[in-house]
Structure 1
Amino acid sequence: MARINASVYTSHVPAIGAAIDNGRTGEDYWKPLFAGYDYSRQWIAARKPDVILLVYNDHASAFDANFVPTFAIATGEEFQPADEGWGPRPVPPVKGHPRLASHIAQSVIQDDFDLTVINNLDVDHGLTVPLSLMFGQPEAWPCPVIPIAVNVVLYPPPSGSRCYALGKALRRAVESFDEDLNVQIWGTGGMSHQLQGPRAGLINAEFDNDFLDQLVTDPEALSQKPHIDYVRLAGSEGIELVMWLIARGAMNDQVEQKHRFYHVPASNTAVGHLILENH
């Protein structure tokens, strides 16, 4: 059967994609950030997954204020990079895995999660920047990706506990698939940041590092953190961190931390990164 063997957690700052696309990764400002992913690229080259479940949030590219699903899964064959106002990123199309995605949709909906099923989807920086950080700039992404979109843009977003429970449902779905697949699940977004208002540029390194600690050692307790704590302590966009709980929920209670990285600032945002493996 299919197995989720590892999880990856990373910020998806759009300026990171611009730095990659415009050849600026070696500049003094960006070099320390990309150095934090050197190990990650070696790790994934040695442990290339058959499929990635990539949890991210759309930034008004595929959805708008008229239609924002709380949780959605994309079941198509291929997903094009979205035009976010300055043209699509010059990255390869994302190949899907329709059989596994459709199986997950059926399993998770039967498990009492009302996923929205999407066939056609353009994917924005929330999904493509993590792929670039982990795989560099290949001519084609090395494995299929199943996009799982979460609403953390419009009120109300799902609770941390609901996200954590969804991760457990995703794991059950994967393990009931009748094909031998090595699956990874990635949680993206965050860390502390606010993009508007008098607190624009907020970075709370203490909150971020406490979150990283607890995500590894006590995710059950972390899943009970209320929304208001994220907003007050990590900024209005810090709520993106609940998506990391989906990936963590799909893992064993006890995990091995293979890599941890934290860096500020990256375009007025804190960047966090973890790689966890199941024992």
Structure 2
Amino acid sequence: MAKITASVYSSHVPAIGAALDNGKSGEDYWKPLFAGYDYSKEWIRENKPDVVLLVYNDHASAFDSNFVPTFAIATGEEFQPADEGWGPRPVPVVKGHSRLAAHIAQSVIQDEFDLTVVNSLDVDHGLTVPLSLMFGQPEEWPCLVIPVAVNVVLYPPPSGKRCFAFGEALKRAVESFDEDLNVQIWGTGGMSHQLQGPRAGLINKEFDNAFLDRLADDPQALVDIPHIDYVRQAGSEGIELVMWLVARGAMQSKVVQKHRFYHVPASNTAVGHMILENP
């Protein structure tokens, strides 16, 4: 059967992709950030998955305000990098695993989650930036990727508790698949940041690091955090952290922390990163 062996958590700041794409990763501003992923690149080379379930949020590239599903899975064979207004990122086409994605949809829907099935979509920086941080700039991505989109853009987003339970359902789905696959699940977005209004530029290091502590050792302490606390403590875009709870819910209760990194700022955003393995 397929098995989830590890989870990766990372911010997906669009400026990170721009820095890579425009050859600025060696500049003094960006060096400390990219250095935080040096271990991760070595780790992923030694622990290359067959498939990544990549939990992210779309930024009005595949969905718009007329249609934003709470949870969606993409079942296509491949997904093109999205044009977000300045042309698509110069990164490889993302190749999917249609059979596993369809199986997950079947299993999760029967498990009482109203999952939207999407046959085709373009993927924006929310998905491609974490791939670039982990794999660099290859000619093609070294594994298959199943996009799993979560609404954290339009109110109301799903609760942290619902996201964690969704992760648990994803774990059950993967483990019932009849092919021997090494699967990782990645949770992306966050950490604390706010892009507009009087609090634009807000970063809360204390909240972020407490979240990282609990994510590894006590995730149940995070599942009941209400939406308003994310807004108050982590800024209007801090709600993206519920996507990390999807990935954590798909893991075992006790995990091995392989790497942890935190850096501010990256384009007025706090960057968090963690790698957890199932024992």
Question: TM-score, normalized by length of structure 2?
Answer: 1.00
What amino acid sits opposite 1:179 in the alignment? E
Alignment-derived partner of residue 107 in structure 1: 107
Cα separation, 2, equivalents of 1:220 and 1:75: 30
1:220 Cα offset (Å):
1.2
2:9 alignment partner, SS class: strand
How big is each residue's C-alpha offset from its partner over 1:101-144, in whole Å with a ceiling of 9 and x where there is no partner? 00000000000000000001100000000000000000000010
- Counterpart of 1:272? 272
Cα offset for 1:200? 0.2
Cα deviation, residue 243, structure 1 = 0.1
SS at 1:117 equivalent = strand
Tell me which residue corresponds to 2:132: 132
1:163 is matched with 163
Instruction: Identify the residue that residue 182 of structure 1 maps to in structure 2.
Output: 182
2:218 maps to a residue whose letter is D
Question: Which deviations, in whole Å up to 9, do the C-alpha atoms of 1:143-183 show, x marking residues without a partner?
Answer: 10000000000000000000000000000000000000000
Distance 1:13 1:236 in 2: 15
Q: CA deviation at 1:208?
A: 0.1
Distance 2:153 2:142 in 1: 30
Q: Which residue is 2:66 aligned to?
A: 66
Q: Matches of 1:95 and 1:115 in 2, distance apart?
A: 21
Percent identical residues: 84
Q: Report the Cα distance in structure 2 between the residues aligned to 1:47 and 1:250, rounded to whole angstroms.
A: 18
Amino acid at match of 1:183: V
- Corresponding position of 2:226: 226
Separation of aligned partners in 2, 1:275 and 1:49: 13
SS of 2:230 mapped into structure 1? helix
* Match of residue 3 from structure 2: 3
The match for 1:116 is 116
- Give, in whole Å, the separation in 2 of the partners of 1:275 and 1:257: 6
Once the two structures are TM-superposed, the CA of residue 221 in structure 1 deviates from its matched residue by 1.8
- Quote how far apart the aligned CAs of 1:229 are: 0.6
Query: Hey, what does 1:248 align to over in structure 2?
Result: 248
Distance, in Å, in 2 between the alignment partners of 1:278 and 1:46 is 15
- Which letter does structure 1 place at the counterpart of 2:6? A
Cα deviation code 1:189-221 (max 9, x no counterpart): 000000000000000000000000011111112
Q: Which residue of 1 aligns with 2:201?
A: 201
Q: Does residue 119 of structure 2 align to residue 96 of structure 1?
A: no
Q: Distance in 2 between matches of 1:246 and 1:97?
A: 20
Q: Which amino acid aligns with 1:84?
A: E
Specify the alignment match of 2:173 in structure 1: 173
Q: Which amino acid aligns with 1:112?
A: E
Moved over 6 A (4+): none
For residues 62 and 183 of structure 1, the distance between their equivalents in structure 2, rounded to whole angstroms, comes to 25
Please, what TM-score do these two structures have when normalized by structure 1?
A: 1.00
Q: Paired residue for 1:29?
A: 29
- Structure 2: give runs of 5+ residues left out of the alignment: none
CA RMSD in angstroms, aligned pairs only: 0.3
Unaligned runs of 5+ in 1: none
> Residues of 2 paired with 1:120 and 1:75: CA distance?
7
Look up the equivalent residue of 2:126 and give its one-letter code.
G
SS in 2 for 1:236: coil
| Residue 10 of structure 1, CA deviation | 0.1
Return the letter of the residue paired with 1:58.
Answer: D
Give the match for residue 192 of structure 1.
192
- Counterpart Cα distance in 2 of 1:115 and 1:90: 30
CA distance in 2, matches of 1:240, 1:222: 13
